[in-house]
Chains A and B, each alone.
Chain A
Amino acid sequence: MSALKPKHQRLVLVVLALVALVGAGLLAAYALRSQASYFYLPEQMLADPPEVGQAVRLGGMVEEGSLQTADDGITLTFAVTGNEGSRVPVRFSGIAPDLFVEGSGVVAEGRLGADGTFVADNLLAKHDENYVPRELQEMEQHQAAKMAEETTVGLE
């Protein structure tokens, strides 16, 4: 290919860059719109459940008295509650994170099973007493003080 005229070359580069950036932006916007349904509060999950098997997050409070360990010693079952008395049962096989206790906040990553139980691959609990995850802010103040933290791999 021969060298282009400077003006044309600049034009080609600018057009190329614009196409790629606009493409990236559109793609991101499209993908992000579907992410709007990535995080669920219990009441949202009950009112408008995600598809079975779709990877989502569920955030709320661990219901007092609901936490049980199965006979295998590694499977936990508990219920996550939100506002308006909503409640979603959760099953998690694994080591619960530090400070995961009844009455505290949690964000569970996983998928909704066909039986209506949320199967968590990962539990995110708080590791900083000052932190309130964005998604749970509207919950009551005394609860908010004990809220879960997301996966902050932070400097602070």
Chain B
Amino acid sequence: MIAELGLAALWLAAALAALQMIAGFMAVRDDGKGELAGLIRPAAIMQGVLVTLSFAMLVWLFAITDLSVKLVASNSHSMKPLIFKLSGSFGNHEGSMLLWVMVMGLAGALIALVERRLPERTMNATLAAQGVVALGFYAFLLLSSNPFERMPNPPAEGMGLNPLLQDIGLVFHPPTLYLGYVGLSVAFSFAVGALLTRQVTPDFARAMRPWVLGAWVLLTIGITAGSYWAYYELGWGGWWFWDPVENASLMPWLAATALLHSASVLASRDALRTWTIMLGVVAFSMSMVGTFLVRSGILTSVHAFAVDPERGTFILVLLGIFIGGALLLFAMRANTINEGQRFALASREGALVFNNVMLSAILAIVLLGTLYPLLTEAFDVRVSVGPPYFNPVGAIFTIPMLAVMAVGPLLRWRQDRVDRIGKEIALFAALVLAALILFSLLAEIALLPLLGLALGLGLAVASLLPLRGRKLSRTPLATWGMVVAHFGIAVALIGMASESAFTEERLAAVEEGGSATVGPWTVVLQGVEPVAGPNWTAIEGRLSASYNGGEAKVLAPQARNFWAPPQQTTESALVTRWNGQLYAVVGDRAADGRWQLRLWWKPFVTLIWYGGLLVALGGVLALIGRLLSDLRHRRLAARIAERRADREAVA
């Protein structure tokens, strides 16, 4: 019964999305006087409510492990801990698509409820565009990926969830990323709405900016968390593999970063109008390309197209309609959008444009590298693209971008002279050069980590310069946000470079009571014991590790065996110090009774994720700052209107 209710709610929500779309377009055509105009906002709100109900029913079905539902039977198991039953509801294709439309429905409802800044006509066009996108996804779910499908002969027990996903990091990781993706769908709808009504104004950018900021913050957190998850859960000690699934989240982040900066220029300086619209379209396109690369099965196996041609074709058609349609609209309308304000190339805007272009170039490189194996596949050539491509080719554009990022925020808006900030540029260059010389003398480091360390250190100092000479308590939150985010990039960069330059690794076969050293650490294997969890058994190594002979810390890495589905996972153990992490994995037992140990000492590796969190924090600060100043403006406008009304009443 619950499954049928969920499906019914989904159909109703889809119908409301259709209504929202039709009423929206009619209102735009009839200049807001369309007969259905009054239905647009209520439809958007009800759609959000219904799709949320539908998702709640799916979660409920997973919670009670209703095995007569095909999705539950193939992805869950009654023995699984409750939290993983719940996360299992979106740890699969159908459920994650339902999560996606739910977030999208909620976003639409939120716009309908709170957005008052956009002109009514643009607002209607925006909600109409959102209706189109949502409808596409509803159709995809209902026609080819029904999450509520029943099984004629329910099995006695479910298949279980992939054990790698049975981790707390993976409970929060996909929803975070999805919220980010969907935030970009709102930016896309705004861009399409503004194109339809030709009202690309600073007000439009101000209305769009919080959505982009929010999406960007969530993407940043999602990517950071995903990287840390891969690092500790896979047991390989790596934090980024240039895997297509990772690239799928990186590409929208790159586009959103560019969009964020260009929307800021449009909001505060009324320039870059068409560019901002273009990025709005591109950013969402990237999140769709990303989602579908992951969701269509095209990545895990090209056979997915043959096995389920319906789903694959559906995806391509949706991609074509949304992206193609938006680009066509853009091509038709772009030259009718009025010129924005002018600016000199040497100016804050100029620096931002440069970084936008560099970000786009990096995006193109990642996109090509990710799609290339799929393209050559069509010609029966199998290729695998990895770090030897992404690292050096990406670096060619990342390095100038980081350099401009260091000094760009010091330039004045509109028009400036580069020689005015000569001292700051010299300081940055001197820092980078000094670091380059110092590190290349001190240790043998490969070129990229060396450049990363030097640029990171220079950027860390330069990113704080915009605060110089300011009263810190009076500095706007948005400025703080920029400084913190840029500083976070520098911190993450230093962490990445330090990890690749200074990591020490030790592999050893150790008997119980024996020891191994790595870097400054001495690790003693005290014993290996069997342990059991709710749906797994494991062997657990008991290690005591001391740093330079100091007090010993206890580590307990495990090798787990899950039984539904049967699979092994590696649970690494970590000791975190301020200057790095010790990473330990226990492996197999050799014939002579010794245990394999793999140990890494990774100096400053944690800076990678602290940096990522700082970047997200910067976004949050900017978001709060913007929302507060919006509120202040709104109050001010209300007071002015009140006074005017008073005066008129007196007169």
A96 smallest CB distance to B (angstroms)? 7
Of B47-55, B309-317, B368-376, the stretch lying at the interface with chain A is B368-376
B182 CB to closest chain A CB (Å) equals 15
Interface residues of B in 355-376 (CB under 8 A from A): 357-358, 360-362, 364-365, 368-369, 372-373, 376
B546 proximal to A (CB < 8 A): no
**Please, could you name 20 A-B residue pairs with CB atoms under 8 Å apart, sorted by A?**
A1-B346, A3-B414, A12-B345, A21-B361, A23-B361, A25-B364, A25-B368, A28-B369, A32-B383, A32-B389, A39-B382, A74-B507, A98-B570, A131-B300, A135-B384, A150-B384, A152-B245, A154-B243, A155-B96, A156-B93
B174 contact set on A, CB distance < 8 A:
155
Chain B binding site: helix, strand, loop or mixed by DSSP?
Answer: mixed
Among B449-457, B466-474, B561-569, the stretch that binds chain A is B561-569
CA gap between A29 and B393 in the complex, in Å: 10
Q: Beyond A95-B596, A98-B569, is A28–B384 a contact (Cβ under 8 Å)? A: no
Among A98, A99, A128: residue with most chain B CB under 10 A: A98
With A4-B342, A31-B389, A153-B226: A21-B364 Cβ-Cβ less than 8 Å: yes
Given known pairs A17-B357, A95-B588, A96-B588, the reply for A150 and B243 (CB within 8 Å) is yes
Number of interface residues of B (CB under 8 A): 82
How many residue pairs bridge A and B at CB < 8 Å? Answer: 181
Asked if A36 CB lies within 8 Å of chain B CBs, one says yes
Which B residues lie within 8 Å of A16 (CB)? 353-354, 357
CB neighbours of A83 from chain B (8 A): none
Interface check B590, CB cutoff 8 A: yes
A52: interface (CB < 8 Å): no
Contact A99-B509, Cβ < 8 Å, known A17-B357, A24-B365, A35-B385: no
Nearest CB on B from A142, distance (A): 16
Chain A, residues 119-136, CB within 8 Å of chain B (1/0): the string is 000100001111110110
Point out residues on A near B: beta carbons under 8 Å.
1-6, 9-10, 12-13, 16-17, 20-21, 23-25, 27-29, 31-32, 35-36, 38-39, 55, 57, 69, 72-74, 93-96, 98-99, 109, 122, 127-132, 134-135, 137, 150-156
Decide: A73 near B360, CB < 8 A? Known: A129-B565, A150-B243: no
Residues in A with CB closer than 8 Å to B358 are 20
Known: A13-B353, A131-B301. A32 touches B386 (CB 8 A): no
CA distance A16 to B357 in the complex (A): 8
Residue B648 at the chain A interface, CB threshold 8 Å = no
- Whether the pair B245, A155 counts as a contact (CB closer than 8 A) is yes
* The 4 nearest A-B residue pairs measured at CB: A73-B509, A95-B587, A98-B568, A24-B361
Report Cα–Cα, A6/B344, bound state, in Å. 10
In the complex, the answer to whether B507 meets A95 with C-beta atoms within 8 Å is yes
Q: Is the CB of A154 within 8 A of B294?
A: yes
